[in-house]
Structure 1
Amino acid sequence: MLPAPFEAHTVEDNPTISMQLTRSLLALCLFLFSHCTEGARPNDQNFTAADVKPYGCGEECQENIRQGMKKDRQIFQGYPFDHDFYHTAANFSNANPGDVLKLEAFNDSSAQLSVPLDLTTYKMQYVSIGLHEEKVPATAFITLPYKADYGTKPRLLAFAHGTIGTMPSCPPTSSYNFYNYYTWQTLAVAGYAVVGTDYAGLGNNHTMHKYINPVLNGEDVYWSVIAARRAFPNTFTEQWASYGHSQGGGAIWGLSENPRVASNESGEYVGGVAVAPAPRVYDLLMAMLKAGEEDRSSTAPKYAPLIAEAIKSVIPPSAKVETITEAARERLPLASLLQLCIYGSQSLFLDLPNKGVNKSAYMHSNQLQSFQQEFGAALGKRGYKELLVLQGTDDQTVNYNVTEEAYHTACAAGNNVRLSLYPGLGHRPVLTASAPEFLGWLDERFRGVSASQQCVLRRVHPLVTG
């Protein structure tokens, strides 16, 4: 088995991890060297049966992965992967959190970038904070509107994306539309200046990506705002807000509980929008497993490889992930070797019994519960600013009952949360249906309007029913 190539600890502090990292990078580089053409994306490579059979991946497994990789390609549409940009900047060791390491305008001479033509777009490498409060490099995109409709400066909005994968090959900034699916572009065309983090570990390989980790994903969002202000001094409003979907919704919930937003370092944080959020991964997975038992077509088991990578990113290198079976553990390194993104990763265990899920461990192991307790949100912590939560009741990825429970827990802790439930809508349709609500809500926050009630739960009534 290949050791995990990108551990969650700083290499400088641990010689053992340094050796593991070196061996893993050599293995990965040899694989890519033998399979890549010049300029090819690291997640768009061919593989042979000989490459994957040592990991217990037979013909059915191989076909599943190929189909998953085919769907991953649709996310990126062949947009070039800028290896030089994602490489850790030479000045990183002397930099501080929030510092800008690299800033480049997107060069769209090939016309492959699909963003509104009135926007000016940049990519940025900056410094965030990692698992042990150590500094880590992260990357982000920044879009500037054609003009400022609100006074002399555009409003600043920090965007947190949903699940795209856990590997360095999967950053939204390397997608032809920055992984837009009616998310950040809705805000950009409304006149906001948008800074969208990739999250540490996606794009740059200094550290493993901390998947579905509201605490650390929230840090990446926060420090992207500091960096955007340093990249473009005196350009944005003093006020700023945030918006995220799915994994990103959890990040925004985590951000709202981060005491940094109560300071003036980033400007005046006025609140966040969390759409179909995942702040409590253990509770969510329990609901997903139950749904899977009741519905054989449930997509819940597909997340097992991604959840395994999330746990792996925060436990010691010698510890094993308990939520998957031994056969799944044998196969998990393929996600790194092949640099699989969301659909490729989801395909890894599909041919295994129980799709590689160790149900007993999911329900009884302390590993997953501890992960939620340490890195989750909406668990009774104080929230520092107002939060709007938007959730579809037919969401097959984020169970709305878990979201409602998170809402009640946050409100019981004295936080200011508004939850709007959209009957009959799924994980992505709620994005467009809720746009009038969240755009109006954000406008009020920037204008200094406070919520009239501390906590509000409402069901939206659709225009057409039946």
Structure 2
Amino acid sequence: MATKQIFLLLLLPLSSLQQLQSQTNTWNSNFHLTPAQISLANLSATTANNVEFAVRYERTNNAGQLTRHDPFYDLPTSFDPANPPPPGTVLKVEQYTNITHYTIPMSLSMSRFLYTTETLNGTSMPASAYVLWPYLPRSFPDLTPYSTDRDSEDPLFPIVALAHGTSGQTQSCAPSNLRELWGNFQNSFPLALSGYAVVAPDYLGLGVADTVSPYFVLPSHAHDLFHAIAAAQQTWPGLLSKEFAVMGQSQGGGVAWASAQRQAQRPVEGYLGTVAVSPFTDVLDIIAADDQAQNNGRVVAIAQGLASVLPSFEVSEWITEAGLARLHLLQEIQGCGLTGAQLFSAEEGTVQILKDGWNLTESAKWYDSTNSNGGSKPFAGPMLVLQGTDDPNANEPVVTQSVRKTCEAFPEARLEYLRFENITHVPALYAGQHIWLDWIHDRFAGIEVRNGCVEKLHKPSRGGRSAEFEGFGVQTWFIQLWS
């Protein structure tokens, strides 16, 4: 008998783990922490309970199994880590991914591949990525194939390279192995359903074993994006276009902006422009504007991978012994973003995770100067930036200041900045969806963008309340596979 797949949008508030507990009897994980793990990480009973629920939820959202148990993520035996091929090299291809365990809209298909990217220091490293294919590609008169050696009857798919928001920092957090690809109806699904081939890297350290995630080192993630595009084009040269647009939200919004800056320094033929939604610009300023629990998790995540791009750095420069113990536990249990949020909330301030003055260290100054977007750093336009005014994550005043400083430094730059009143972090994608989809379409259609910066504030057309206001910006559903 055939298995039926049904998309369920469960009306389930995700703002509290306690509200998730009633669903655990349907989850495919029975994870429990050991007494030794609880003791070594000094977890309260409440935090231990929340971590267990978080891990179960995350593992249920894996497409079938953890990445470390999925042979797709194993490197080919011919790969020599001491002498890796140059960045952009294709290592392994899964032409038709079995989507039985994915919650992907009907009519779409998926491929996964391993390729080489580069670190901030230029070292070639293996990474993973996926392509989400539409049933029919959107056609554009001037679209050109990556390779002219192709059958004229073959379809030609325009590329949108998608930089994902924070999924986590361990191997298990690869969006290519998450049921709804982490972007779901926020970005990846609408793009593919609109006829674009979505090329989406798992950032270095997510997916392939024995690699370290340089979490929130945005220029490094930009390398992942460009090399994933090149690898995909080499894999499907007759199907994919030479032209491509870049898009990202949250951490991915910062990566998208960093990609536009990379394009200004290292131009790649075919680049059409960038969409950055709720982007991180001056990361340390944004961290300073966030609450302590969120700061804890983000700074620990940055610290765990910073030595991979700044060899003189030691994690203990920023993180206390208590924080290091919890970081070790996160890595041991292969937790992702939700698990990290519970571990580093640190019982509402009763456990200190970050060392006093961590942000004043020389390593923090190096990170800030290397990693910030905007200001005096040139970028390749055009670029569309969307931002909610009530964003508690990518702080709106910081983003606005970065945009305006960029426009002061480059008054002829093609930058359009749209703010959405009373909209928060992720909902900016929904509030402006038709705008960014039209903008991407216009870039492939060859419609020129005038020089200069444009800034506009959008207000809700009907006024009153919406799901954004009722839900305080918290997603109240998730996609579950029902078979």
1:334 counterpart letter in structure 2: L
Alignment of 1:31-430 (within 5 A): 45-73=31-59, 75-76=61-62, 78=64, 81=67, 83-93=70-80, 94-108=84-98, 111-151=100-140, 153-181=156-184, 182-259=186-263, 263-264=267-268, 267-289=269-291, 299-316=294-311, 319-351=314-346, 353=349, 356-358=352-354, 360-414=356-410, 415-430=413-428
Distance 2:160 2:320 in 1: 41
CA distance in 2, matches of 1:72, 1:368: 31
Deviations 1:289-341 (A, max 9, x none): 5xx5xxxxx75544343243344543437723433333212332111111110
Q: Tell which deviates more after alignment, 339-348 or 408-417.
A: 408-417
Q: Secondary structure at the match of 1:374?
A: helix
Distance 1:222 1:159, change over 3 A: same
Q: Which amino acid aligns with 2:170?
A: M
Aligned to 2:145: none
> What secondary structure, in the 3-state scheme, does the structure 2 residue paired with 1:332 have?
helix
Q: Distance in 1 between matches of 2:310 and 2:303?
A: 11
Question: Conserved in 2, the CA contact under 8 Å of 1:304 and 1:357?
Answer: no
384-393 or 361-370: bigger deviation: 361-370
- Normalised to the residue count of structure 1, the TM-score between the two structures is 0.82
The letter for the 2-side match of 1:447 is A
Matched residue count: 416
Alpha-carbon spacing, 1:101–1:240, altered in 2? closer, same or farther (3 Å): same
Distance in structure 2 (CA, Å) of the matches to 1:256 and 1:234: 26
Counterpart-to-counterpart distance in 2, 1:259 and 1:364: 31
CA deviation profile, 1:256-310 (whole Å, cap 9, x unmatched): 011477534xx31010111111132111111115xx5xxxxx7554434324334
| Counterpart-to-counterpart distance in 2, 1:314 and 1:108 | 35
Report if aligned partners of 1:128, 1:136 keep a CA contact under 8 Å in 2.
Answer: yes
Distance in 2, Cα, partners of 1:424 & 1:321: 39
Q: Is the 8 A contact 1:49 1:62 kept in 2?
A: no
AA matched with 1:324: I
Q: Secondary structure at the match of 1:164?
A: coil
Q: Which amino acid aligns with 1:336?
A: Q
Aligned partner letter, 1:150: S
Q: Residue 16 of structure 2 aligns with which residue?
A: none
**Runs of 5+ in structure 2 lacking a partner?**
1-26, 141-154, 465-483
Which residue identity does 2:450 align to in structure 1?
Answer: S
Query: Secondary structure of 1:92's match?
Result: coil
Q: What does the per-residue CA deviation read over 1:400-428, in whole Å, with 9 as the maximum and x for residues that have no partner?
A: 11111111222233143211101111111
- SS of residue paired to 1:258: helix
User: Contact (CA 8 Å) 1:299, 1:396: kept in 2 or not?
Assistant: no
| 1:193 CA displacement | 0.7
Distance 1:263 1:367, change over 3 A: closer
Q: Partner of 1:36 in structure 2?
A: none
Q: Secondary structure at the match of 2:167?
A: coil
Using the alignment, how far apart are the partners of 1:384 and 1:376 within structure 2? 16
Residue segments in structure 1 that go unaligned for 5+ positions in a row: 1-39, 293-297
Q: CA–CA distance in 1 between the matches of 2:198 and 2:425?
A: 22
Distance 1:97 1:184 in 2: 25
Counterpart residue type for residue 289 of structure 2:
A
| In 1: Cα distance, 2:301 partner to 2:204 partner | 16
What is the CA–CA distance in structure 2 between the aligned matches of 1:225 and 1:375, rounded to whole Å? Answer: 22
Q: Tell me how far apart the structure 2 counterparts of residues 193 and 405 of structure 1 sit (CA, whole Å).
A: 34
Any residues of structure 2 matched to 1:415-454 within 5 Å, and which? 415-454=413-452
Q: CA deviation at 1:430?
A: 1.0
Are residues 208 and 447 of structure 1, via their aligned partners in 2, closer, same or farther at CA, if it must alter by over 3 Å?
same
Aligned-pair identity in percent equals: 27
- Per-residue CA deviation, residues 73-98 of structure 1 (Å, 9 max, x unaligned), is 35436556453211223333352211
Output the amino acid matched with 2:405.
T
Give the AA of the match of 2:199. Answer: V
Distance of aligned partners of 1:454 and 1:283 in 2 relative to their CA distance in 1, 3 Å threshold: same
State the secondary structure of the residue aligned to 1:244. strand
Computed over aligned residues only, the root mean square deviation of the Cα atoms, in angstroms, reads: 2.6
Residues 200-229 of structure 1 show CA distances to partners (whole Å, capped at 9, x for unaligned) of 100112321111121000000000100010
For 2:93 and 2:302, the matched residues in 1 are separated by 32
Q: How far 1:54 moved relative to its partner? A: 2.5
AA aligned opposite 2:419: L
Larger deviation: 84-93 or 173-182? 84-93
**Distance across 1 between alignment mates of 2:438 and 2:106:** 25
In structure 2, give the amino acid aligned to 1:331. R
Distance, in Å, in 1 between the alignment partners of 2:436 and 2:452 is: 17
SS where residue 300 of structure 2 aligns? helix
Q: For residues 320 and 142 of structure 1, what CA distance do their matches in structure 2 show? A: 34
Please name the residue that 2:152 is paired with. none
Letter in 2 for 1:322: E
Q: TM-score, normalised by structure 2?
A: 0.80
SS class of match (2:346):
coil
SS at match of 1:309: helix
Q: Which deviations, in whole Å up to 9, do the C-alpha atoms of 1:42-66 show, x marking residues without a partner?
A: x984321113422333534422322
